[in-house]
Structure formats: C-alpha cells, structure tokens
Amino acid sequence: MKNKNLLIYFTVTMIFCFTLFIIKYISDTKNDYQKISEKILFQQASTLFNNIVNTRKWSSDHGAVYIKAHDGIKPNPYLQDNHEYTKNGELLIKMNPAWMTRQISEMSNKKENYFFKITSLNPLNPINAPDDFEKLALKSLKNSNEEFYTSIGKYKYDFVAPLKVEVSCLECHNTNNYKVGDIIGGIRVSIPTEHYTENIEIINSKTNLLYLVTFFTSIIFIIIITFTIHSIYTRELNIMKLNKTLESKVNQRTKELRRANKKLLEISTIDYLTNLSNRRHFFDIGIKAFHLAKREKNDLSIICIDIDFFKQINDNYGHHIGDEILKLIANKMSKCVRKSDILARTGGEEFTILLNNTNENSAFILAEKLRNIVETSSYKNDEIDVKITISLGISQLKDDDEDLDSIILRADRALYIAKKDSRNKTVIYHF
C-alpha cells in the first residue's frame, strides 16, 4: 500500500510538472507572438517615419518644392517667401518640409487611417503644438536621448521619433537660436491597431482554451493513471489473498492427504482386527532386518505362534468370540514385545515375532513368558469362560540362511512339533 501511494504521488507530481511546463510554453508562445506583433507595428511605424524623414530631407536639400496653386492648397503662413509667380503669372506655392509633412499627413489619414504630425515643444505654427502624449514623448526623448518613443493604445499605436536641426532648417528657424544637431521636435506616426487588437484577442482566446484543455487533460490523466495503479494494486492484493487462501486449502488438502496416506498405510500394514502388523508388513520389515543381521553378523530369531484348538473355539462359541480371543491374545503379547521387534498376525490364528539381536535361548525365555501369560488368562463374559493356550516354535539365523523364509520355515516346523507333542508348549528347532 505504501508503494502504491508513493507511485501515485510520483505520477501526480510528474504530470503536474509537465502541465506547468506546457502552460509556461503556451504563455511564452503567446508573449512571443505579442512581441512579434508589436515589432511589426514598430517596423510599420518606423518605416513610415523614415519615408517622411527622407521626403523632408529631399525637399530640404533642394530648397523646398514649388507646386501650382489649386483648391485645398494654401501657402504656409509661417514661412517667409512662401510663394512665387511664373512668367505667365501662375501662382506657385512653396512646400517646405514642415508644410509638406502636414499635407502628406492629411492625405494619409483620409485614405489609409495613418496619421502623421510634426510637433515641437516650441512650434512656430500653433497647429503643431503637442498634446499631452506628444509632450511626454518629446520630453522623454530630450532627456534620455532615446531614438524613439512608443505607446500601444486600444485603437492606435503611437510612434514618436526626434527631428534634429539641419542646415536647411535654419532658414525657417533662424530666430530660435537653434544649432545644427539640436532636437527641435519630432514626428508622430499613429497606426490603427484594429488588426493587432483582433489578433491579440484571438491568441488570448486560444491561449485560454489551451490552458483549459491542458488543465482538464492533466486532471483526466491523473484520474486514469491513479485508477489504473489502484486497480493493479487491488488486483495484486486480491491475487495475494487468493494465493493465501489457495495455499491454506493446499495445506489443508495436504494434511488430509497425509492422513489418508497414513490411514492407507495403516490399512495396508496393520491387521484390522488385532491392530498388529499384517503379513505383508511383517515380511517387508523382516527381509530388511534379515539382510542387516546377515551383514552385521548379528543374532536374529523367529517365534511362530498358534492358538491351540482355535477351530473348536469358533465352532463352539462362534467366530465373534474367536475374534475377541484373537484381540485378547494380541493385546497380551504386544505388551511384552520390544518396539524394535516385530509382532504380526500372519494367519487366521497364527502370529509371528521377529526378534532383532536375539538368539534362540533369549527367544525361548520370551516365548515361555508369552505362553504363561496366555495360559493364565481367559476370555470371560456373563455366559462363558474360555481357557486359552498357545504353542510356539523358535528358530534363529544361521550362516547358511539365504532368506528370511528359511528361518520361518524352521520355526514353523518347531511349532508343528509343539502342537503334535502336547500343545501349550515352546519348542526350539534343533533338527
């Protein structure tokens, strides 16, 4: 869970940083576009200014220009020798740079919406007196020696650049004590900003839309990635729980299988009636014990046991009583046999004992103990009292024995002798 939260925080942080980067990129792009648009306005205004300045200079360098008088054109009242007559008596009006600038300005303002104005802090012509903006621009240019002064308004872009005194200017301004190089005023160029404002509004609108799209896209990405991470971890958690449940079930089934195998093993190795080893188990263990005794040259003895007159007991009292007697004898003998030895029911009323590290004499002592215990015991209930005896045959491992059956065969022959002789007897095979 801790790793999940850390991964979510890391992802959200990365998306947030990427979103800030995109927003900054959009903002920088908008500002760059605005600067380019302002630069275009500046280039237009400076170009118009330079055109006017070049026109004025050409006129000034040629001592002004004379044009024929016609409607709408009057001589400059603030200019000496402002007109001439031809030999034919036609009136020629002198267009000095200032008067020419005003005529061009009025024409451009009517046709192109461009506005030109020559202005000065000390104008000869009151019409050229500066307004508040022009006063601010001229003072700023005079005090700071800047090359131009600009301002962007809602409807127009204003550009003011200084006019410096040249030799040709002194003809009209000879009373102002100007020197060549002095700033005597400036030319204002005004350009309509309708298209500029429209473009800025469009870019602002699109920028705001991009901001909104970026923001909501980031939110959607955060939600999707967070949901995905949560789903993955939830699925992994469910898988872990399922694995634990499955592991628990497997362990339970394993235990059940072990119990079943154990029970199956018991069924396959234990006699169901007496809870002693059965014949198969006796021989499986006995053969291994035989080979071990042969290799280690240890003693090993076999006792074969048979219940005397067991058929008569079944015939007289029934198989149920016979089974109870089998269990009684098995219980008595199992208490006397060592855990390292094997006591098994190998037939209907037959038992066999394998004694490790035991010679025939020690086996005889055990056999007599078992015989006496059984002889002194009886099966009793409310109706009957059945006396029981057993016969036993003993044989021990010999050097020339090749298998376990050889020992069992001799012990069985000794048992046969005991039963044939008088029963309730132990016999060691010596033949």
- Alpha carbon separation from 362 to 300, 303, 342 (Å, rounded): 10, 11, 15
Q: Are 366 and 336 within 8 A, CB to CB?
A: yes
pLDDT tens digit sequence for 348-379? 999 999 999 999 999 999 999 999 999 999 89
**Cα–Cα separations (whole angstroms), residue 12 to 7, 9, 94, 226:** 9, 5, 76, 8
Distance, CA of 345 to CA of 287 (rounded, Å): 16
User: Which residues are marked as active site?
Assistant: 349
Q: Torsion angle of alpha carbons 38, 40, 42, 43, nearest 10°?
A: 170
- Our measurement of the distance from residue 139's CA atom to the centroid of its chain's CA atoms, rounded to an integer in Å, reads 66
- The per-residue pLDDT for range 97-138, each reduced to its tens digit, is 777 777 777 777 776 677 888 888 887 778 788 888 888 888
Q: What is the DSSP string of 160-218?
A: EEEEE--GGGGGT-TTTT--TT-EEEEEEEEEE-HHHHHHHHHHHHHHHHHHHHHHHHH
- pLDDT tens per residue across span 210-219: 989 998 999 9
**β-bridge mates for residue 306, sequence order:** 350, 391
Cα–Cα dist 190/48, whole Å: 10
CA–CA distance, 199 with 177 (Å, rounded to integer): 48
Using only C-alpha atoms, the chain has a radius of gyration, in whole angstroms, of 66
Residues 6+ apart with CB under 8 A from 429: 393, 394, 395, 410, 411, 413, 414
Is the pLDDT at 264 greater than 90? The verdict is no
How much is the pTM? Answer: 0.50
For residues 62-80, give the mean pLDDT.
74
Structural domains of the chain ordered from first start: 22-198 (no CATH), 279-428 (3.30.70.270)
pLDDT digits (tens, 9 = 90+) for 72-107: 677 777 667 777 777 787 888 777 777 777 777 777
